[in-house]
Amino acid sequence: MRAARFKAKQGINNLMKVIVNVPLHVTSIWLPRYTNDPMTTGSLGAGIVIRPGLVMTIEGGEGTMGLRHIDEVLRRYNVNAVVKYETQAPLGFGYGMSAALTLGTALGVAALLRKPLLEAAQVAHEVEVNLGTGLGDVIAEFYGGGIEIRVKPGAPGVGVIDKIPYPNNLVILTHEFTREDTNVMLLRLRDKLEVLGKEFMGEIMREPTYENFVRLSMEFSRRIGFLTRDIEDNVRPCIKYLDGYYVKKGVLVLITHRDKADEASQCLSERGIHVRRFKPSDAGAWVRITH
Ligand SMILES: Nc1ncnc2c1ncn2[C@@H]1O[C@H](COP(=O)(O)OP(=O)(O)O)[C@@H](O)[C@H]1O
Ligand SMILES: CC(C)(COP(=O)(O)O)[C@@H](O)C(=O)O
C-alpha cells in the first residue's frame, strides 16, 4: 500500500477513517471540449468504467508530500490527511488513474469534513483539467454506468453521462504497452481528435448500442493510430474468444465474456499479451465511513 502524508490544517475527526472505492475508466472514443472554465471543460465520448479500481483510505494526520493531484485536493480543502491507496493498475498508461486518485482523495476528505460529495467530484474534475491529465475521467468514474457515453462535457453536475446497455457477464481484459502523459498525448493528437472525435461521436449517438460501441471503438483506435497492424496481427488468432478490442493511449482493452475469459487470456498470453482482468463498474465511486 502506498501512503502520502500531509500536514494538518483544518480539523478532521481523528477517530474517523474513510474508505473510498473508485473504478477506473478507459475511454475508447473522445472529443475534447475546452472552455475558459474547468467546470464546463471536458470531453464528449464513450468508454468503459471498470472494477476493481482504486481502494483509498483517508484519515486525519500529518505527513509528507505525495502525488501533486492529491496534494492539490488537500490544498483546496485546506486540510491535513493521511492518504493511502491500493490498486493493481499502473499510473500513466490510460486507465484514468490520475482522475481516480484525485476523485478518491476529494471524496474521502469531503466525507471526513461532512461536505457534499458532488462538490468533491467537481473539485477533482477541476484539478484534473487544470493539471492537463483528464477531461472525462472524473465524471465517468464518479457515476459509473458500465459502458458510458458522455453526452455533455464537464464536471459532475454540469456534464451529462448516459449508459449503453451491455450483455451480462462481460469481462474486460487489459494489457499495457507504453506510458504517455495525457497532456503530451492530447497535444500530439489535437487536430485528429477534433475531426475523428466529431465523426465517431455523431455515429455512436445515432445508435448507442453495445454492438456499435465495440465496432466504433475498434475503428476509432485504428484511425487515431493507437491500434496498429502489428497489434491486430498479434490479437487476431484469439478473436474467436473476443467481441472486440481497442487501444487507448498505452492500454489494450479486450472485451469478452465470463465463459470465454480464461481461454481468451490463455490464447493472448501465448502471444506475449499478458492481461489483467476487470468487470464493468455500474456503481461508480462509493464512500464508506468507519470509526
Ligand atoms: N511515479 C510518479 N510519481 C509522481 N507523479 C507521477 C508518477 N508517475 C506519473 N506521475 C504523474 O501522474 C500523472 C499521470 O497522469 P495521466 O498521464 O493522466 O495518467 P493516467 O493515464 O493513469 O490517468 C501525470 O501528471 C504524471 O506526471
Ligand atoms: C482521454 C482523456 C482525456 C485522458 O485519459 P487518461 O489518459 O486516462 O488520463 C480522458 O480524460 C477522457 O476525456 O476520455
133 pocket-lining for ligand 1 (C-beta < 6 Å): yes
Q: Which ligand 2 atom lies nearest to the CA of residue 25?
A: 8
Question: 19 pairs with which residues across the strands?
Answer: 57, 288
Q: How far is CA 263 from CA 157, 185, 239, 241, in A?
A: 41, 33, 11, 7
At 144, the amino acid letter reads G
26 pocket-lining for ligand 1 (C-beta < 6 Å): no
Per-residue model confidence (pLDDT) at position 61: 85
Cell numbers 501465448 label which residue?
270
Q: Which ligand 2 atom lies nearest to the CA of residue 27?
A: 14
| The three three-digit cell numbers of residue 54, written as one number | 482504486
CATH architecture observed for domain 2-163+281-290: 2-Layer Sandwich (3.30)
What band does 16 get if pLDDT is binned at 50, 70 and 90? confident
Contact, 24 vs 141, CB < 8 A? yes
* Tens-digit pLDDT profile for residues 160-213: 999 999 999 999 999 999 999 999 999 999 999 999 999 999 999 999 999 999
At 217, the amino acid letter reads S
pLDDT at 6 over 90: no
Query: Complex ipTM, two decimals?
Result: 0.96
Q: Which ligand 2 atom lies nearest to the CA of residue 185?
A: 7
Per-residue model confidence (pLDDT) at position 291: 78
244 pocket-lining for ligand 2 (C-beta < 6 Å): no
**Ligand 2 atom 2: the closest Cα is on which residue?**
134
165-279 classified as CATH 3.30.70.890: yes
Listed by start position, the domains of the chain span 2-163+281-290, 165-279
Q: Which ligand 1 atom lies nearest to the CA of residue 250?
A: 21
Nearest Cα residue to 35 out of 47, 44, 23, 22: 44
Residues 6 or more apart in contact with residue 67 via CB below 8 angstroms: 4, 98, 101
Residues 122 and 66: their CA atoms lie apart, in Å, by 21
pLDDT at 2 over 70: no
Which of the ligands is closest to the CA of residue 136? 2
* Tens-digit pLDDT profile for residues 44-61: 999 999 999 999 999 988
H or E element at residue 199: helix 190-206
Per-residue model confidence (pLDDT) at position 10: 63
Percent of the chain at pLDDT exceeding 90 = 91
135 pocket-lining for ligand 2 (C-beta < 6 Å): yes
